[in-house]
Amino acid sequence: MLFWPRLPHPAALTAVTFPRFSPAYNAQVAANLIAPDALTARAIYPVQVYESVLCAVLVAVLLATFRRRRISGELFLRMALGYATLRFGLEFLRADNPPVASGLTFSQLLCTAIVGVALLTLILRRRWADRLSLRLQVP
């Protein structure tokens, strides 16, 4: 018989567990996700670490495109679009916010609104840049 090593689930490579009586452990016991006599909490995703890394990538992208901006406020609107998009996705990994509408959390609904407003604002500012003196002088 051939020996195949049992590989860990991909989530096990990035998930973390917490010891007994930690806040995460207590929350999981209260939600009946683990038995009160469990040694550790269930593995959870370190979403804050993911968010930090993704925000660093977003900053790098924004810095790389800094000189390409053509209208006042464009960089801020790109940041709002980028952050709302990544936060929307990260909310699927979080377990601390219950869904409020259409299976989405409040944060996801807010991110959807932010993307809509930022995109509309960016389009309108580009269209009316000359009339509102928003165009930047390109060196």
Q: What is the DSSP string of 33-63?
A: SS-TT-SBPPPB--HHHHHHHHHHHHHHHHH
pLDDT in tens, 3-43: 555 555 555 567 788 888 888 889 889 989 899 999 888 88
**Same domain (yes/no): 51, 117:** yes
Q: 63 with 118, same domain?
A: yes
132 Cβ partners below 8 Å, 6+ apart? 125
CA–CA separation, 60 and 40 (whole Å): 37
Amino acid at 12: A
- Asked if residue 120 and residue 109 are part of one domain, the reply reads yes
- Contact yes or no for 16/46 (Cβ under 8 A): yes
Residue 13 has what pLDDT? 60
- What is the pTM (predicted TM-score) of this model? 0.78
Q: Which pLDDT score, from 0 to 100, does residue 127 have? A: 93
Range of the domain at 20: 9-44
| Shared-domain flag, residues 82 and 109 | yes
CA-based R_g, the chain, Å: 22
Segments in 1-139 forming alpha helices (H): 10-14, 23-30, 47-64, 74-90, 106-127
pLDDT at 113 over 80: yes
User: Is the same domain home to 114 and 56?
Assistant: yes
Q: Provide mean pLDDT across the span 107-128.
A: 96
Amino acid at 135: R
pLDDT digits (tens, 9 = 90+) for 90-103: 999 887 788 899 99
Query: Which pLDDT does position 60 carry in this prediction?
Result: 98
Residue 1, pLDDT > 50, answer: no
Q: Is position 68 within any domain?
A: yes
Secondary structure (3-state) at 81: helix
87 and 35 housed in the same domain = no
> Mind listing the pLDDT tens digit for each residue in 36-92?
999 888 888 888 889 999 999 999 999 999 988 889 999 999 999 999 999 999 999
Predicted local distance difference test score (pLDDT) of residue 129 = 87
- How far is it, in rounded angstroms, from Cα 135 to Cα 47? 38
Whether residue 31 sits in one domain with residue 57: no
State the pLDDT at residue 9: 56
